[in-house]
A = this chain, B = another copy of it.
Amino acid sequence: MFAVLELSKTQYFLVYNMFSFVVATMGAAFLYFLLTRRDVSPHHRLAVTMSTLICAIACYHYFRIFGNWKDAFTVKAGVYSQTGEFNEGYRYADWMLTVPLLLSELVLVLKLAKVESRKLITQLVLAAILMIGTGYPGEVATASSSRMVWGIISTIPFLFILYVLFVRIGKSLSGQPAGTKTLFDALRYIIIATWGVYPIAYLFGQPGGFAGLNESTSQVVRQVGYSLADVLAKPAYGLIIIAIAVIKSREERYVVA
């Protein structure tokens, strides 16, 4: 069973328009990465390919999420009541594919020694699968206590990933070309800013609401939060990765045909 949310027209359409906006953003980003893959040398093309896949996968999922939102509500006398299930599972399916890709492309663009690179990717991908795989049962649980237990379990691999990204990757930054310093910093900020949003949005899914907001308003905050975080974590993140790859390609004297 789902909680019967009652949203105002403004609330309902804020989420509705946000979802449609993300469909368009992911679609446009997909197209952008597809069209600009030859701006980077063959060496760096796999990272751009990953951004292309990530945005295509997210475009598909937001298309589903948007349709699901439309179908789950019925309007009566200006109030939008939830009369069907709104499935959060799409997000977990999306993350199961996109988070391992996002983490791998970051390691790839660093261009570390092959052995080191492979080891980092293996660790990060396994942690991501664990994080998302244990987040899902918490997300679909109706009891507040199960949500908490799974939420805490899922936080362990989450913190491990942040540790690897900051400490391990931080160390390798001294070896990076001068022009990419600001970009790598921006990447680290985007990771902190957006990855911080996900556990907060998860908390806003508490039955009965969160942070003094009722359940309906909590749901609006949560969906808008997840959507904005996804836009930063996928297209914006991919743009920084491609910018780093372009600078590195130039250093290799790669010329666009």
What residues make up the interface of A, taking CB atoms closer than 8 Å to B?
1, 9-10, 13, 16-17, 20-21, 23-25, 27-28, 31-32, 34-37, 42, 49, 52-53, 56-57, 60-61, 64, 75, 78, 85, 87, 89-90, 92-94, 96-97, 140, 256-257
Contacts and interface: CB of A to CB of B under 8 A. Distances in A.
B31 A56 contact: yes
Nearest to A90: B20
A140 B13 contact: yes
A32 B28 CA distance: 16
Given A17-B93, A52-B35, A53-B31, A24 B87 contact: no
Given A13-B89, A57-B28, A35 B20 contact: no
B24 A97 contact: yes
A17 B49 contact: no
A94 B32 CA distance: 16
Contact of A92 (B17, B27, B97, B256): B17
B24 A93 contact: yes
Given A10-B140, A17-B90, A31-B52, A24 B257 contact: no
24 contacts: A9-B140, A13-B140, A16-B87, A17-B87, A17-B90, A17-B92, A20-B61, A20-B64, A20-B90, A21-B93, A24-B61, A24-B93, A24-B94, A25-B97, A27-B60, A31-B52, A31-B53, A31-B56, A34-B35, A35-B49, A35-B52, A36-B49, A42-B256, A42-B257
Contacts of A93: 17, 20-21, 24
Given A10-B140, A35-B49, A57 B89 contact: no
Contacts of A61: 20, 24
